[in-house]
Amino acid sequence: MNEPKTTVDFTDAYPTFTHEMKQTHLILVPDMLPWHFELLVHVMELQGYHVEVLKNEGRAVIDEGLKHVHNDACFPALCVIGQFLDALKSGKYDVDHTAVMITQSGGGCRASNYIPLIRKALKAEFPQVPVLSLNFAGLEKGNGLELSLGFLLKLGYAIFYGDLLMSIYNQTRPYEQRAGECDRVRAQCLSALKASFGNGKYRRFGRNIRMILSAFSAVPVSGEKIKVGIVGEIYVKYSPLGNSHLEDFLLSEGCEPVVPALMDFILYCVVNNLNDVKFYGRRSKTTPLFRLAYLWLYGKQKKLIRLTEKYSRYEPLHDFEHLRKCADCVINQGVKMGEGWLIPAEMAALAETGTNNIVCAQPFGCLPNHIAGKGASRAVKALHPDVNIVPIDYDPSATKVNQENRIKLMLANAREKFPQSEVKA
Which CATH number goes with the domain that contains 58?
3.40.50
Task: Mark whether 345 and 251 lie in a shared domain.
Answer: yes
pLDDT of residue 70: 79
pLDDT at position 106 is 65
Predicted pLDDT of residue 424: 41
In a domain, 212, yes or no: no
Best-predicted range by mean pLDDT (213-227, 267-281, 365-379) = 213-227
Q: Give a yes or no: residue 311 inside a domain.
A: no
pLDDT confidence of 336, banded at 50, 70, 90? Answer: confident
Q: Give the structural domain span for 81.
A: 21-146
108-122, 206-220, 403-417: which range is least confident on average? 108-122
Domain boundary among 115, 146, 177: 146
Q: Does 246 lie in the same domain as 130?
A: no
Q: Is residue 231 part of a domain?
A: yes
Does the structure show a pLDDT above 50 at 208? yes
pLDDT at 344: 95
pLDDT value, residue 13? 75
Percent residues over pLDDT 70 in the chain:
92
Q: With cut-offs at 50, 70 and 90, classify the pLDDT of residue 102.
A: confident
132: β partners: 101
Q: How confident is the model at residue 111 (pLDDT cuts 50, 70, 90)?
A: low
pLDDT reported for residue 142: 66
Q: Give the pTM.
A: 0.91
pLDDT digits (tens, 9 = 90+) for 158-197: 999 999 999 999 999 999 999 999 999 999 999 999 999 9
Of 297, 223, 286, 288, residue with least CA distance to 263: 297
| 188 CB-near residues (< 8 Å, 6+ apart) | 215
C-alpha 415/C-alpha 425 separation (Å) is 8
Domain-ending residue, one of 128, 146, 164: 146
pLDDT class of 323 with cuts at 50, 70, 90: very high
Sign of the alpha-carbon torsion through 40, 348, 380, 356: negative
Answer whether residue 46 is part of any domain: yes
Q: What pLDDT is recorded for position 7? A: 37
The answer as to whether 241 is a domain residue is yes
Summarize the confidence of residues 136-149 as an average pLDDT: 72
pLDDT value of residue 37: 94
Count of structural domains within the chain:
2
Domain closes at, from 129, 146, 163? 146
The verdict on residue 352 lying in a domain is yes
Residue with more model confidence, 72 or 8: 72
For 354, counting Cβ atoms within 10 Å of its Cβ (0-12 exposed, 13-18 middle, 19+ buried), the class is exposed
Clarify whether residues 137 and 230 are in a common domain: no
> What average pLDDT does this structure show over 20-32?
93
Residue 320 pLDDT more than 60?
yes
47-53: long-range pairs with CB below 8 Å, 24+:
47/146, 47/151, 48/22, 48/23, 49/22, 49/145, 50/25, 50/26, 51/26, 51/27, 51/101, 52/26, 52/27, 52/28, 53/29
Q: Work out the average pLDDT over 280-289.
A: 85
The predicted structure's pLDDT at residue 157:
97
Is the pLDDT confidence value at 8 over 80?
Answer: no
Q: What is the mean pLDDT of residues 219-237?
A: 94
Given this model, what pLDDT does residue 2 score?
Answer: 46
Please name the helix (run of DSSP H) or strand (run of DSSP E) that holds residue 414, with its range, or none. helix 400-416
pLDDT band with cut points at 50, 70 and 90 for residue 91: very high
Do 133 and 235 lie in one domain? The reply is: no
- Whether residue 141 sits in one domain with residue 241: no
Average pLDDT score, the chain: 89
pLDDT of residue 356: 94
Segment among 28-32, 89-93, 196-200, 394-398 with least mean pLDDT: 394-398
